[in-house]
Structure 1
Amino acid sequence: MMEGTGFEGLALGQDLPDSQDSFAELWGNVFVFSSVSPPLLNLPLAHHNVWQDGNMEALLPEGFDEKLFEFPPEVSTADGVTPPASTVPVTSDHPGEFGFQLRFQKSGTAKSVTSTYSEILNKLYCQLAKTSLIEVLVTKELPTGALLRATAVYKKSDHVAEVVRRCPHHQKEDAADHSSHLIRVEGSQRAQYFEDPNTKRQSVTVPYELPQLGTEMTTILLSFMCNSSCMGGMNRRPILTILTLETPEGLVLGRRCFEVRVCACPGRDRKSEEIKSKTQIGTKQTTKRKNPAPTPNTSEKKAKSASSAEEEDKDVFVLRVRGRERYEWLKKIHDGLELLDRERLSKPTVSVKHEAAAPSGGKRLLRSDSE
């Protein structure tokens, strides 16, 4: 800076006299600057007259500020700056050191329910703009100012890079400032809505509240402001909701993830998807248990069929019959079959082969012309 401005009476690069004077003493002796226009010094308008009169001493500070050339303290990224959001959010559960867990309100699959949760599928079914109660549990005290953040992402890898937003139709009908946000926190005036400047992903935060007396959990109210089937929005693409427990600086303390389906009849859809899931699981297990055997030969098939028939005859089955008359008829049929089996076993089967008798003396029989 001295080379760009210079001081009168002091040549550039000249050593200080005696090389013992401090810079504070030099500052007190040198106060006349070379010709510099006022805008470069950012002087107030009231000081322009002082500059034109040449009374520069009035513009200088009374004493030397020892902290003039000290650098400002470095800001720690861990203490004061929110870490950047990842491009692809993590969807795996992580309770963390605080044992972060979620509980959902228990409700059946009746048609009248507005929100229901399936433990089998880890999936929440809810109606449009209807409140879903979610209970938050931790095992020990959280840091001061901890908050909960809810973010929606697409489940399939083909769409995970896209941002989950509401459809244009529902956005147009909503007059709120955060009308494009799919997830909304109800019942709290301290909820804040964010959009990441890099990824454009939207999220909503709410401060964590301590459990009330006699309870061990904190309840938050979430509502989803668009149907899963809305064109221009989710468009029948499955979504996941990531609920993270964070510090005010953005450090993640725990993470929980669950699937969400926004539909007109949550109870019906939950019931049908659970039945479908159980059927698929049973089919897979049956397929794994079956071991395909090699195809046997024709002779082996006949032998196995005969032996299997004998084995099946030895098996005993119980048949329940309703009504005495029907029982008597079936009993007569059964007795007749048993009698036939006994007669067949009592008569041994003899195979007779019709062969011509060989002539004595080794002579061949002469065949007649008629033969």
Structure 2
Amino acid sequence: MMEEQDFENLSLSQPLLSQSSFIELWDNIKLIPLISQLMNDQALAERFDENLFELPPEVPSRDGVTPPASTVPVTSDYPGEYGFQLRFQKSGTAKSVTSTFSEQLNKLYCQLAKTSPVEVLVSKELPADAVIRATAVYKKTEHVAEVVRRCPHHQNEDAAEHRSHLIRVEGSQRAQYFEDTHTKRQSVTVPYEPPQLGSEMTTILLSFMCNSSCMGGMNRRPILTILTLETPEGLVLGRRCFEVRVCACPGRDRKTEEANSDKMQNGTKQTKKRKSAPTPDTTSVKKSKSASSAEEEDKEVFVLHVHGRENYEMLKKINDGLKLLTKESKTKTKVSVKQEFALPSSGKKLLQRGERSDSD
């Protein structure tokens, strides 16, 4: 009862809210969370780092990017100040060799996807992080603008990322494959390693992943391999170039091409000698021919190949007839010679033993 009276007294003593005051109170209640949210946003803004979502500056990377290259690569040798040289192992021209080098032709003969060791020599210590770059170009001027790539057949069979590259470096996990953005030429680099203790050279292992005769690839067009010694920035310190033929039998092809080269050189010398040599005397030849007897000419035997049995029988009869005619002609000549010596001259009688002539 007391509580009900207090509630009535309280309600009666306090004036009731009008409609306008209630709306103001309601608006104030709605503004409280907005104000608190604005205060929180202001505190967050003070702690917010404006550079949080900015991308870091791009750092130039060497993966897949090469320094700008010229449209027509230089193929002349340039040892440079470091005396950059190449040397190949002497493997001969046996049929079993997988790689052989001809110093006479400055040409490497190798099999498809077989390792070809190349020895690198320098005269003094190179700068740090120097690399060796291998690039393939076509030898002839009408093809030099084209990019040397593998044929589609061998590319489709290969699952490697750099399957379009003709030259591959074996035995090194640090090899990097590049494609120039301007010329689209492909190359591969490997860091230069100083010679080991007791050695004067460093060996790199190259493999050529397409035959020279592959359709859609080299298509029997000769190629050159350019090895350049470079700094990490792409500055060339030295250059060496050699021709390459990728074939099934390197020893045989090297032997054949070296022999053809020797014939070409000897052929030019022989033609000069033949020009200076005097012409043979034709009169002496005629005399020698006239001096040969008819019997020797008859002794010459000639072989005639005849197709068909009937043709053979017919020609055999002709041959037998000719033999018979020559026999008869020889017997007639012998008889005529005897008669010439036995018979007297015309108008005179042959004298017998013991008879005298009319004149006597």
TM-score range, shorter chain: 0.5 to 0.7
C-alpha distance in 2 between matches for 1:197 and 1:82: 8
CA change 1:58–1:127 in 2 (3 A) is closer
CA offsets 1:331-356 (integer angstroms, 9 cap, x no match): xxxxxxxxxxxxxxxxxxxxxxxxxx
2:87 to 92, 103, 113: 103
Q: Partner of 1:154 in structure 2?
A: 138
C-alpha distance in 2 between matches for 1:138 and 1:83: 23
Aligned 8 A contact 1:164 1:234 in 2: yes
* SS of equivalent residue, structure 1 residue 274: helix
C-alpha distance in 1 between matches for 2:113 and 2:91: 18
Q: Partner of 2:125 in structure 1?
A: 141
C-alpha distance in 2 between matches for 1:195 and 1:268: 34
C-alpha distance in 1 between matches for 2:49 and 2:247: 72
1:268 to 252, 275, 283: 252
1:238 to 222, 229, 247: 222
Question: Does 1:168 pair with 2:152?
Answer: yes
C-alpha distance in 2 between matches for 1:103 and 1:235: 28
CA offsets 1:206-226 (integer angstroms, 9 cap, x no match): 000010011100000000000
* SS of equivalent residue, structure 1 residue 180: coil
Q: Partner of 2:68 in structure 1?
A: 84
Written as runs of structure 1 = structure 2, the 5 A alignment for 1:21-170 is 83-170=67-154
* SS of equivalent residue, structure 2 residue 252: helix
Question: Does 1:186 pair with 2:179?
Answer: no
Q: Partner of 1:197 in structure 2?
A: 181
TM-fit CA distance, 1:275: 0.2
Q: Percent identity?
A: 77
Q: Partner of 2:328 in structure 1?
A: none
> Whose radius of gyration is greater, 1 or 2?
2
CA offsets 1:220-263 (integer angstroms, 9 cap, x no match): 00000000000000000000000000000000000000000000
CA change 1:197–1:288 in 2 (3 A) is farther
* SS of equivalent residue, structure 2 residue 117: strand
Q: What is the letter of the counterpart of residue 252 of structure 1?
A: V
C-alpha distance in 1 between matches for 2:122 and 2:271: 42
TM-fit CA distance, 1:281: 1.1
* SS of equivalent residue, structure 1 residue 211: coil
CA change 1:272–1:305 in 2 (3 A) is closer
Runs of 4+ in 1 over 4 A off after TM superposition: 56-61, 288-293
1:250 to 234, 246, 269: 234
Written as runs of structure 1 = structure 2, the 5 A alignment for 1:221-370 is 221-288=205-272
Q: Could you list the runs of 5+ residues in structure 2 that have no partner in the other structure? A: 1-37, 51-64, 285-360
C-alpha distance in 2 between matches for 1:197 and 1:276: 41
C-alpha distance in 1 between matches for 2:244 and 2:210: 11
Between Structure 1 and Structure 2, which shows a larger proportion of helix residues?
Answer: 2
| TM-score between both structures, scaled by the size of structure 2 | 0.60
Aligned 8 A contact 1:166 1:233 in 2: yes
* SS of equivalent residue, structure 1 residue 283: helix
C-alpha distance in 1 between matches for 2:281 and 2:249: 54
C-alpha distance in 1 between matches for 2:49 and 2:184: 49
Number of positions where the alignment pairs a residue of Structure 1 with one of Structure 2: 236
CA offsets 1:113-159 (integer angstroms, 9 cap, x no match): 00000000000000000000100000000000100000000000111
| TM-score between both structures, scaled by the size of structure 1 | 0.58
* SS of equivalent residue, structure 1 residue 256: strand
CA change 1:210–1:169 in 2 (3 A) is same
TM-fit CA distance, 1:57: 10
Bigger mean CA offset, 276-285 vs 194-203: 276-285
Q: What is the letter of the counterpart of residue 286 of structure 1?
A: Q
RMSD over aligned Cα atoms: 3.4
Aligned 8 A contact 1:82 1:249 in 2: no
C-alpha distance in 2 between matches for 1:60 and 1:144: 41
C-alpha distance in 2 between matches for 1:60 and 1:118: 68
C-alpha distance in 2 between matches for 1:201 and 1:288: 45
